Amino acid sequence: MKMQGVQKHILICSGKTCIKNGGEQVAEAIREEIKEMSLTKFIHTTKTLCNGQCKNGAITILYPDGIWYKEMNEDSGRKLIKEISEVRPLEQNIILDYKNHQFVEEETE
């Protein structure tokens, strides 16, 4: 994979618990939306092992923003790609955000 020109890297948790919570469908929806929006040169995706946030799965992580998303599903996966150029995409699913050189928990209830 040529990374030159890539602007966003999305890590999609494919650990056991996230897969049970629809992680595979999240990955498919995100990847389909990237193709449909012709963003394949700008957004790279990687499936990962467990990210240690199982109780909030399915987890998706956006870099370089450093934003972690909880309870992802096909709809929120597609919405993330649609909103990715916004300052804080998919605000309602944010669980961790990178601020002042550290991750901070976000209250999204």
ω into residue 58 within 30 of 0, thus cis?
Answer: yes
60 interacts with ligand FES by CB under 6 A: no
Distances (CA, A) of 109 to 16, 79, 85, 88, 105: 25, 19, 24, 17, 12
50 interacts with ligand FES by CB under 6 A: yes
54 interacts with ligand FES by CB under 6 A: yes
Site string for ligand FES, 67-86 (x = CB under 6 A): --------------------
CA dihedral 69, 75, 78, 83 (to 10 degrees): -60
22 interacts with ligand FES by CB under 6 A: no
What is the contact surface with ligand FES in residues (CB under 6 A)? 13, 15-18, 50-54, 57, 59
